[in-house]
Structure formats: C-alpha cells, structure tokens
C-alpha cells in the first residue's frame, strides 16, 4: 500500500514536468497522510490543471461521507470490478505528484521500520490515481482521490508486498489522463509494477509514524542497528557451549 508520501518540488517544476496550464500554490510537505489535502492533476475539457483534493476517495453515489470507509488505495487487480472505482477509472483518472513515498518493513521482532522510496533518477513521481467529486444536499462539493497500488517488484518486495502504480514517462501520463479518448481497459494496463532498479530506498526515522511531524529530517537516512549475534556463555569447568 501507499500510506504516506512527500512532495517537495516547486510550483514551477511541477508545471514544467506535468505540462500544467497554471502554477499550483504549494509548499514542501514531508509527511502527507490520508484524509489530508493533496495535489492531484487531471484534465477537464482538455485542460490539465492541478487541484487540491482529499486523500481518501468518496464516490459520487455516497449519501454521507462521514459514514463511508476511507478508500486511500485502489488495488489495480480489482479496480475495474469494485463499485467505488469503476466510474473514476472511466472518467476520473488523475496523477498524484510525489517526491517519494514511505513504506514500512515488519521485522522478525514485529517492529516496523519505515523506508523512504524515490525514483532512482531523482525525478518526481507521477502516482496513478482516481478521483471523484461528491456533491452534497446543500450544494457542497468534495474532490477526493485514491492512489492505485500493484504487486511489488522483487526489489521492493523485501520491504512490502505492494507498491504504488507509478507512471514513468510523459507518454504514459498523457495516456492515463486522457479520459476522453482512452478507454478504461486500455488505461488500466498502465498500472504495473516498475522494473527492478527504477527505484531506490533508505531507512528513515520512526518520527514519520506521527502525522504531526512534517520536516526535512523525515526523509534523511538513518543507520539501522545490526542484529545482535548469539552469544556463548560459560558452563561448568569454563567450557564453552552453544547448548
């Protein structure tokens, strides 16, 4: 899954990379969490612009968003069948820009160690996503987004069994966002694991576990403690034994 990410690129960089018609008024974020506003990019009437949307999809047909479960991720394998994702896959495809994302590896002691994962070439990521606009009875509207996940490649599987669907180049981004000419079945084929070597990662501080922390130190590498080796103990007569 993908449950936290960072976005540190400037508005100018975002506009240039993703061919936006206008700048997005953003500040660097290092610990973006579900339910928070995130930047999402989609096209309407051929215009590609950035929007702020809630991370956690609310389908159009939901009566009360407060009583609907949080849909942060959509699994690529089932998004065409799930009622919440079928319509957004046809008409609401978007990308979520990210500088990198966090994932947690569960150790033998059941402790979870966070890692920060980025593109190996250092470029910002374009996470494949789905958006919907919910309209309330009083005329209120909520734009919301879910990011798409796929089975992790061999490289990332040592951390987690899932990874975000990441669009690598401009052709893929253009195809994904073109909901007028590109059918859902065709677009869904872009949601695939990246090849090994396309990403890199390093361990980071467990401070990222708290959504209240949001500073550059969260993405800095940390040194992990080496596992303790089995120690031998003296037994009768000063002999050494493993038993």
Q: How many CB atoms are closer than 10 A to CB 48?
A: 18
Rounded Cα gap, residues 167 and 127, in angstroms: 6
Among 106, 101, 73, 107, residue whose Cα is nearest residue 201? 101
Q: Which helix (H) or strand (E) holds 141?
A: strand 141-151
- The gap between the terminal CA atoms of the chain, to the nearest Å, is 42
Q: What 3-state class would DSSP assign to 206?
A: helix
Which residues are catalytically annotated? 2, 103
Cα 92 from Cα 113, distance rounded (Å): 34
- With tokens 């966070």, the residue in question is 114
Helix count (H) and strand count (E) of the chain? Answer: 4, 15
Buried b (16+ CB within 10 A) or exposed e, 96-118: bbbbbbbbbeeeeeeeeebbbbb
Among 52, 165, 40, which Cα is nearest to 101's?
165
């Amino acid at each position: 899954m993908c449950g936290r990410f960072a976005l540190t690129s400037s508005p100018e960089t975002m506009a240039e990379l993703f061919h936006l018609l206008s700048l997005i008024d953003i500040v660097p974020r290092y610990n973006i969490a579900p339910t928070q506003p995130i930047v999402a990019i989609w096209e309407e009437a051929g215009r590609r612009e950035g929007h702020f949307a809630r991370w956690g999809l609310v389908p159009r047909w939901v009566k009360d968003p407060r009583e609907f479960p949080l849909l942060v991720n959509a699994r690529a394998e089932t998004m065409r069948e799930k009622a919440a994702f079928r319509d957004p896959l046809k008409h609401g495809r978007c990308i979520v820009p990210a500088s990198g994302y966090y994932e947690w590896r569960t150790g033998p002691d059941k402790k979870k160690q966070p890692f920060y994962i980025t593109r190996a070439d250092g470029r910002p990521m374009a996470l494949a996503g789905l958006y919907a606009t919910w309209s309330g009875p009083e005329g209120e509207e909520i734009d919301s987004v879910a990011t798409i996940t796929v089975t992790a490649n061999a490289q990332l599987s040592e951390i987690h069994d899932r990874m975000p669907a990441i669009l690598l180049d401009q052709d893929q981004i253009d195809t994904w966002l073109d909901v007028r000419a590109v059918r859902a079945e065709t677009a869904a084929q872009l949601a695939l694991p990246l090849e090994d070597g396309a990403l890199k990662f390093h361990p980071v501080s467990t401070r990222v576990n708290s959504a209240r922390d949001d500073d550059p130190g969260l993405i800095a590498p940390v040194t992990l403690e080496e596992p303790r080796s089995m120690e031998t103990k003296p037994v009768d007569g000063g002999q050494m034994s493993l038993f």
